[in-house]
Homo-oligomer: A and B are copies of this chain.
């Protein structure tokens, strides 16, 4: 046991070593830097659980104090990163010859330091506060279509975020919107997104019409399902997919999400207004995120290099499980008997035939709601949001213009008249109301990447359908863990994709997948 002297802080002393003093100093600097960064990870972990609690457990009265706590944690984290001492340690650590993981870790720390230094601490806590308040109000206002009352808070939050984007852009020599996108997936830019999205905008509309024309009627599953049975079933399927309940939970929230940390992964789901498949597949989506999080490298828990890559790669993992794996015939061969037993349904019920369930799970529809959209129309929902964000960030549009822009795009891309509908219009997603701009493109880039990963997996593994059909999911999750999850962010997401698939990010695999699932097969 260590001993402590009252009133004095113990300094960590270094044993004499045979290294040269320069090497010792550098070694010490990197070690001290990782200590410092660990403190910041501790604060981040605290915030992750508090944010989960905020969405899942907190009584309404707790919101003011929670907003203050989260703002303080954000601002302390930020000060830690931005501090000159951090910069000095980074400089000194650069003198040491580090192995590839330490070296990548140092690069992440250095990038965070640069970004933190670029943004004033007061702005960070102002954003954290504005975000808590705006999101809180949005939760109430959404149901009432009450755009008017949430708009001023959204404007404040947007202006603060725009200011942050300016600061980041200035420090990195890039455009403000690119600086925000870079927050969510390093290396992704408008220049990368624009041509990809242009191809999707070109290809999808006619494919969607074609799919709609071919699609057969689906027999509705009809009846309401007992909510506690739904949760038992969802947990059973999560467990089947490999979710480790000793290191995570499933709960209910307003909006499904995956939060927490690698050894304490908190995912949530919700009961939809439709049938239970919606809830189940939202859970499977979040389970895909969770498997990534739980599969991160154990040795690097307290360092940035042990974190997931950006949100494009994260979404590729959730969509891989939801879209590539679970909305398929083999998955239903496994899941259908489990579902029948859970709800005590007759084997012969036609609504529960394999064909009908598959038709329900691959139903295409031009709808208003992104999170309920099928994978064919989904990219158009994302394009719409991306274009609005881009116009806002490039100061060609103001927040007050958002509803009109929204309605025009919904009409143009999906042929829907959404005027007057704020709840399922521009107020449907939490992102903007919690200050998240630049994230949306990651959903669709993730869908493209998921299709590329599946193509690569098919090259590596020959019996995917057989193993999924019998519920042996470790056959595929081992591949994901080995090739993706256990790599943390030692490479940027775009490079992970290239290493694993041999190709840069593109739309081909995704379009081929849509073609084969929604057109060729029907």
Contacts and interface: CB of A to CB of B under 8 A. Distances in A.
A76 to B, nearest CB: 7
A175 to B, nearest CB: 15
Contacts of A1: 156, 159-160
Contacts of A163: 3-4
A245 B62 CA distance: 11
A391 interface: no
Given A1-B159, A6-B170, A66-B264, A73 B46 contact: yes
B46 A248 contact: no
Interface string A234-257: 000000000011111100000000
A125 to B, nearest CB: 10
A121 interface: yes
A65 interface: yes
Which range contains the number of A residues in contact with the other chain?
35 or more
A134 to B, nearest CB: 13
Interface in A492-514: none
Contact of A264 (B61, B166, B246, B247): B61
B121 A9 contact: yes
**Copies per complex of this chain:** 2
Contacts of A50: 46, 49-50
B249 A7 contact: no
A189 interface: no
Contacts of A49: 49-50, 53, 66, 69
A248 B120 CA distance: 35
A367 to B, nearest CB: 35
A62 B264 contact: yes
A256 B390 CA distance: 52
Contact of A68 (B42, B126, B156, B248): B42
Given A1-B156, A42-B69, A247 B53 contact: no
B244 A61 contact: yes
A472 to B, nearest CB: 24
Interface string A44-63: 01100110010001111110
Interface in A28-46: 38-39, 42-43, 45-46
A6 to B, nearest CB: 4
Contacts of A14: none
B118 A7 contact: yes
B248 A61 contact: yes
Nearest to A124: B4
A309 interface: no
A352 B249 CA distance: 40
A411 interface: no
Nearest to A263: B61
A264 B69 contact: no
A213 interface: no
A346 interface: no
Given A57-B249, A247-B62, A10 B120 contact: yes
Nearest to A56: B57
A90 interface: no
A58 B156 contact: no
Contacts of A61: 244, 246-248, 263-264
Contact of A65 (B166, B248, B264): B264
A263 B69 CA distance: 13
A302 interface: yes
A1 B156 CA distance: 7
A301 B59 contact: no
A167 interface: yes
Given A50-B49, A159-B1, A263-B62, A6 B43 contact: no
A249 B59 contact: yes
A360 interface: no
Nearest to A117: B7
Contacts of A58: 264
Interface string A244-288: 111111000000000011011000000000000000000000000
A68 to B, nearest CB: 5
Interface in A77-130: 117-123, 126
Going nearest first, the 3 A-B pairs with the smallest beta carbon separation are: A62-B264, A61-B247, A42-B72
Interface of A: 1-10, 38-39, 42-43, 45-46, 49-50, 53, 57-62, 64-66, 68-69, 71-73, 76, 117-123, 126, 156, 159-160, 163, 166-167, 170-171, 244-249, 260-261, 263-264, 301-302
19 contacts: A1-B160, A3-B163, A4-B167, A6-B171, A7-B118, A9-B122, A42-B68, A45-B66, A45-B68, A49-B49, A50-B50, A57-B249, A60-B246, A61-B247, A61-B248, A61-B263, A62-B260, A65-B263, A65-B301
Given A10-B120, A46-B46, A65-B264, 4 more contacts: A1-B160, A6-B166, A59-B264, A62-B247
